[in-house]
């Protein structure tokens, strides 16, 4: 039965490929790496690019690809197209497969679609400075986890080539399976990013909401020569100059005082120490008194104290001082000289231009130029086509069957290793967290979230508790966004690793004067004073 199925798949693949290449005007370039790459691809001879490329099989398959074979290396390789490809005429599809056979902790796995060599580069000297039109593909390291799409576009006014990055790109799949990445450039200025045939991102090249910086610059910019006047007052509130500290305000009153009404609990063991020598401890055989000093048994909690209210010397506890008022500050009033937050005046942007369609540079070559700490990265089935149906057909006949085999094998391995429970749960949680990180309104926090996820993934002994902790951090961020205010300040204090805010309060009028800051600090002190002090057992 399996042999019949395999024969059917081969027949299907054969028919599909005949259909694909029957109409060459739809397929501009296709590289399957079934044959050795030497002669078609040129390895950079730049000294720093010392990583060795290999023509190798994908693990578990008879399918070949281009393999990154060594860790901690820079790699560069390029192939020139027979004819340059215009990106201005109709739909253009860019697609390729990668398989991170050893995972990806830190490194890139993207392609560069290069401009003609007249732009100033040579194949044997291909490096990170070689001018490209589009960079597309996965990149992951620390807080960076994204499927890049970068368009390099010339500003017709300044002549400068600017990198325009897709905002909120999808995350890289967090496994060792084969994945296929597709970018579909439409004539209506739309771009669609697909992973494994599923659309993950739709954007418009001319939208400032989708690319950073936007392709069309702002009409006006802040005047770089405009300076804030020396007498400009940005304080919305100021301490009341007429306020006077009340006569009964005692700034020296302590925060806590002894509770004179407290009575020692009945049964308190005054003569029992809180800790005693561990009776089960023994002196180590290799202990040398002359070199190690006199051996002392380690201490343990006194078991007699467990059943008693407490042990040792009893002292009256402290309580909040009702007379405590803290440092006096004059109340805040509206500042009569307040002029608002100063901003430089706007002037016409000399680099501004209007655009109906991106002025795409043509593609003359495809290059892979990466730095990676990981080996085992396999590139395969690189495609440039004019029809997305061509890309879909190649996905079905090349990637899909490999992916299904790998996924089934992974399930079997998880069951055999007895990890279908916790490991399966961990993977589902990580997959979910990556999807959460892709939510647009969390974009300002995405690097912190991805950093936490990356730390969790690199620890093979991650427990359910650790995963829950990451979820709690994300929920804390959501809480801050929804509620803001003082709650936000306190959440940030408890979670310093994710304390990142999307607004610019540090430079706004809300910050106000030093009087406002002091008053807020005093409010927090008073809140702290209202809580019962933590006591030891004997209290």
Q: What is the mean pLDDT of each run of 10 residues along the chain (539 residues)?
A: 45 42 74 95 96 94 94 95 93 97 89 96 96 96 91 94 96 92 97 97 96 95 96 96 94 94 93 92 89 91 91 93 94 96 96 94 97 93 97 95 92 72 61 70 70 63 60 72 49 38 38 41 44 38
Same domain, 369 and 465: no
Same domain, 133 and 184: yes
3-state secondary structure 21-66: HHCCCCEEEEECCCCCCECCEEECCCCCCCCCEEEEECCCCCCEEE
Specify if 431 maps to a domain: no
Same domain, 64 and 137: yes
Specify if 46 maps to a domain: yes
Specify if 443 maps to a domain: yes
- Residue 259's pLDDT is 95
CA atoms within 13 A on the CB side of 69: 11
Tell me which of 447, 465, 480 is where a domain ends. 480
Alpha carbon separation from 175 to 52, 172, 180, 265 (Å, rounded): 24, 9, 13, 60
How would you classify residue 137: left for phi > 0, otherwise alpha for psi between -120 and 50, otherwise beta? left
Alpha carbon separation from 18 to 7, 115, 246, 397 (Å, rounded): 17, 31, 93, 11
Same domain, 131 and 179: yes
d(CA 506, CA 22): 62
Specify if 532 maps to a domain: no
Give the helix ranges, DSSP H, for 259-318: 289-292, 303-306
CA atoms within 13 A on the CB side of 237: 16
Specify if 62 maps to a domain: yes
Per-residue DSSP letters for 435-504? Answer: HHHT-GGGGGGHHHHHHHHHHHHT-TT--HHHHHHHHHHHHHHHHHHHH-HHHHHHHHHH-GGG---SS-
Same domain, 38 and 153: yes
- Residue span of the structural domain in which 108 resides: 23-222+357-409
Tell me which of 464, 480, 496 is where a domain ends. 480
Tell me which of 409, 426, 452 is where a domain ends. 409
Secondary structure class of 17 (helix, strand, coil) = helix
Same domain, 473 and 363: no
How would you classify residue 235: left for phi > 0, otherwise alpha for psi between -120 and 50, otherwise beta? beta
Count CB neighbours of 276 within 10 A: 16
Q: What is the pTM of this model?
A: 0.65
Same domain, 399 and 463: no
Same domain, 386 and 461: no
Count CB neighbours of 304 within 10 A: 12
Are the beta carbons of 133 and 363 closer than 8 angstroms? yes
Same domain, 446 and 404: no
Same domain, 107 and 218: yes
Same domain, 64 and 107: yes
Specify if 271 maps to a domain: no
Specify if 492 maps to a domain: no
Same domain, 63 and 146: yes
Say whether the peptide bond before residue 213 is cis (omega within 30 degrees of 0): yes
Closest CA to 126 of 118, 114, 136: 114
Closest CA to 136 of 92, 91, 95: 95
- Residue 428's pLDDT is 65
Count CB neighbours of 118 within 10 A: 8
Q: What is the CATH number of the domain that holds 118?
A: 2.60.120.200
- Residue 475's pLDDT is 74
Specify if 253 maps to a domain: no
Give the count of domains, the chain.
2
Are the beta carbons of 86 and 5 closer than 8 angstroms? no
- Residue 123's pLDDT is 95
């Amino acid at each position: 039965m399996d042999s019949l199925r395999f024969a059917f798949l081969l027949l299907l693949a054969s028919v599909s490929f005949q259909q694909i290449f029957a109409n060459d005007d739809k397929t501009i370039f296709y590289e399957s790496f079934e044959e050795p790459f030497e002669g078609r691809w040129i390895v950079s001879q730049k000294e720093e690019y010392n990583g060795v490329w290999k023509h190798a099989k994908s693990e578990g398959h008879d399918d070949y690809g281009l393999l990154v074979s060594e860790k901690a290396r820079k790699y560069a390789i390029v192939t020139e197209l027979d004819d340059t490809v215009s990106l201005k005429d109709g739909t253009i599809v860019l697609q390729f497969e990668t398989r991170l056979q050893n995972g990806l902790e830190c490194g890139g796995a993207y392609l560069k679609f290069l401009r003609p060599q007249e732009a100033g580069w040579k194949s044997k000297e291909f490096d990170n400075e070689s001018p490209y039109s589009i960079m597309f593909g996965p990149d992951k390291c620390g807080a960076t986890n994204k499927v890049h799409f970068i368009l390099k576009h010339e500003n017709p006014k300044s002549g400068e080539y600017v990198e325009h990055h897709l905002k909120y790109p999808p995350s890289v799949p967090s496994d060792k399976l084969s994945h296929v990445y597709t970018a579909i450039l439409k004539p209506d200025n739309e771009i669609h990013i697909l992973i494994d045939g599923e659309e993950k991102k739709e954007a418009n090249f001319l939208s400032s909401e989708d690319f950073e910086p936007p392709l069309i610059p702002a009409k006006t910019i802040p005047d770089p020569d405009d300076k804030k006047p020396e007498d400009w007052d940005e304080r919305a509130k100021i301490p009341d100059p007429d306020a006077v500290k009340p006569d009964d305000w005692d700034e020296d009153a302590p925060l806590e005082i002894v509770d004179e009404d407290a009575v020692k609990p009945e049964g308190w063991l005054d003569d029992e120490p809180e800790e005693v020598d561990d009776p089960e401890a023994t002196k180590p055989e290799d202990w040398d008194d002359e070199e190690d000093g006199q051996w002392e048994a380690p201490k343990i909690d006194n078991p007699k104290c467990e059943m008693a209210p407490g042990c040792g010397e009893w002292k009256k506890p402290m309580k909040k001082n009702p007379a405590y008022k803290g440092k006096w500050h004059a109340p805040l009033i509206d500042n009569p000289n307040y002029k608002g937050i100063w901003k430089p005046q706007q002037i016409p942007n000399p680099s501004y231009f209007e655009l109906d369609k991106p002025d795409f540079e043509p593609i003359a070559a495809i290059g892979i130029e990466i730095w990676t700490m990981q080996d085992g990265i396999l590139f395969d089935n690189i495609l440039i086509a004019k029809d997305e149906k061509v890309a879909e057909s190649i996905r079905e006949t090349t990637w899909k069957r490999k992916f299904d085999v790998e996924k089934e094998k992974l399930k079997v391995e998880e069951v055999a290793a007895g990890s279908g429970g916790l490991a399966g749960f961990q993977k589902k949680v990580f997959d979910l967290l990556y999807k959460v990180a892709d939510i647009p309104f969390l974009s300002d926090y995405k690097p912190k979230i991805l950093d936490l996820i990356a730390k969790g993934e690199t620890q093979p002994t991650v427990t359910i508790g650790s995963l829950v902790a990451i979820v709690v951090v994300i929920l804390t961020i959501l809480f801050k966004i929804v509620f803001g205010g003082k709650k936000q300040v306190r959440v940030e204090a408890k979670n310093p690793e994710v304390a990142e805010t999307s607004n610019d309060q540090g430079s706004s009028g809300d910050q106000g004067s030093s009087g406002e800051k002091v008053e807020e600090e005093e409010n927090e002190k008073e809140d702290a004073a209202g809580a019962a002090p933590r006591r030891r057992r004997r209290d």
